[in-house]
């Protein structure tokens, strides 16, 4: 089948969109046209897919991007078998003529609005109610995929879940070392930007460097630049997921300092799974899903859980791991085992592709059975009478 995949909000090299879902479609033999903000993000698309550039939607500057996306989708959607889009904003840009349409629900958008700095505070809750109404309308008009089991309660119908798992190597590239910790993922205030800066400053006198790998919100970038100039951390900016994971290998621990916000309470932080998959002990705040994964599994503990906002506790956990090689290696092995057993993406990839194929097949309907034409009987004249010859039954 031919899949049209679209995003105007996410980076074109988003791990879930490109490295997992599009890769899975290509590996299954399907063709993909990818609509994304390539030029604005400085990305060169893969040769294996057709790419269409659109402006990126960010902050309050979204209308130009949506107008461009509407034109592109109106042109290309009728020629595709499937339209898979990743942003709630694109609900406003869908063409009337389109194939099987699937919204991949990445987050709890209404809850996320409560922490978006570009949304005026008095409008956050009212806009959340508008988003909920759009969600109810969407599930009546299209197919939905959910990134988390915890998103099911937002919808009235049952929808398949494609969790944010990751490619788990047979064995980690390196054992965890003792001189640096890493943060992987987008950086925002709600994801612990201030805590990361303070953590880097606290660890530096102990000879432990904090590497921050990921893009950042506009209001956070000056904070990270100042911390880098002060040598409190090393900020790499956005790095494609496959390369970013290689950079993480060998760190003492992977850090997650998420705040206690509604959007994160029922979400599994993908970075935690990725740390474990690549042999890093985890130091995370007490997000319920992360805590259950890191310290609540029968296989054992894969790291340490610290209170929300408690940088001192996070630093103490890192220093404990730095000073105890056996402990960090044991936690790294446990985390890798859990990830390999329960969060290996290829298993989900097959289910993801199969679900899309089934939806397209359902929309196409059953293959019509064309009846074989009955031979027209010939009239044979015999002795002045008309008779019909016996018809042969051919195979």
Checking if the pLDDT of 312 tops 90, the result is yes
| % of residues, the chain, pLDDT over 70 | 87
Q: Provide the pLDDT for residue 155.
A: 85
Query: What is the reported pLDDT for 379?
Result: 42
> Is the CATH code 3.40.50.2000 the one for domain 2-154?
yes
- Closest among 73, 78, 79 to 36, alpha carbons compared: 73
Mean pLDDT (whole number) for 375-391 = 43
SS3 (DSSP) at 304: strand
User: Which of the four pLDDT bands, split at 50, 70 and 90, describes residue 109?
Assistant: low
- List, for residues 139-150, the tens digit of each pLDDT value: 888 999 998 888
Q: What is the mean pLDDT of the chain?
A: 88
The helix/strand/coil state of 283 is strand
Q: What is the mean pLDDT of residues 226-231?
A: 97
Residues near 189 by Cβ (< 8 Å), separated by ≥ 6? 115, 117, 217, 219, 220, 259
226-242 burial by CB neighbour count: b if 16+ within 10 A, else e?
Answer: ebbeeebbbbbebbebe
Structural element, H or E, at residue 228? helix 221-229
CA distance 276 to 340: 9
Among 99-113, 145-159, 365-379, the minimum mean pLDDT is found in 365-379
Provide CATH code, domain 180-342: 3.40.50.2000
Q: Enumerate the β-bridge partners of residue 53.
A: 36
Residues 6+ apart with CB under 8 A from 386: 379, 380
pLDDT (0 to 100) of residue 377: 45
In this predicted structure, what is the pLDDT of residue 27? 96
Q: Is there a common fold for 2-154 and 180-342?
A: yes
The answer, yes or no, to whether residue 376 has pLDDT greater than 60, is no
Domain chopping of the chain, boundaries: 2-154, 180-342
């Amino acid at each position: 089948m031919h899949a049209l995949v679209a995003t105007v909000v996410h980076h074109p090299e988003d791990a879930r969109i490109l490295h997992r879902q599009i890769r899975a479609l290509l590996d299954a033999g399907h063709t993909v046209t990818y609509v994304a903000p390539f030029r604005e993000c400085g990305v060169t698309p893969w040769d294996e897919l057709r790419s269409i550039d659109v402006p990126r939607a960010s902050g309050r500057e979204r209308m130009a991007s949506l107008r461009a996306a509407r034109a592109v989708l109106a042109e290309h959607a009728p020629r595709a078998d499937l339209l898979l889009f990743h942003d709630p904003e694109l609900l406003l840009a869908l063409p009337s003529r389109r194939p099987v349409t699937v919204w991949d629900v990445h987050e709890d958008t209404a809850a996320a609005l409560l922490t978006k700095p570009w949304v005026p505070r008095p409008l956050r809750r009212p806009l959340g109610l508008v988003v909920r109404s759009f969600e109810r309308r969407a599930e009546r008009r299209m197919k939905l995929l959910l990134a988390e089991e915890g998103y099911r309660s937002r919808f009235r119908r049952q929808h398949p879940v494609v969790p944010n798992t990751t490619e788990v190597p047979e064995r980690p590239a390196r054992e965890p070392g003792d001189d640096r910790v890493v943060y992987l993922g987008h950086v925002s205030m709600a994801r612990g930007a201030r805590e990361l800066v303070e953590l880097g400053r606290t660890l530096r006198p102990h000879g432990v460097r904090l590497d921050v790998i990921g893009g950042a919100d506009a209001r956070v970038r000056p904070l990270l630049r100042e911390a880098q100039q002060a040598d409190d951390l090393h900020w790499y900016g956005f790095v494609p997921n496959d390369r970013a994971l290689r950079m993480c290998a060998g760190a003492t621990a992977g850090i997650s300092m998420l705040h206690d916000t509604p959007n994160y309470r029922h979400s599994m932080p993908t970075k935690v799974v990725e740390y474990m998959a690549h042999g890093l002990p985890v130091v995370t705040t007490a997000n319920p899903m992360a805590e259950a994964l890191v310290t609540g599994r029968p296989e054992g503990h894969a790291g340490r859980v610290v209170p929300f906002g408690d940088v001192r506790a996070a630093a103490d956990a890192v220093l404990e791991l730095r000073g105890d090689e056996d402990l960090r290696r044991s936690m790294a092995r446990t985390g890798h085992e859990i990830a390999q057993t329960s969060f290996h993406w290829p298993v989900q990839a097959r289910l993801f592709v199969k679900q899309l194929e089934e939806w397209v097949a359902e929309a196409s309907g059953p293959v019509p059975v064309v009846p074989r034409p009955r031979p027209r009987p010939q009239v044979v004249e015999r002795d002045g009478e008309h008779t019909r010859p016996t018809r042969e039954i051919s195979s």
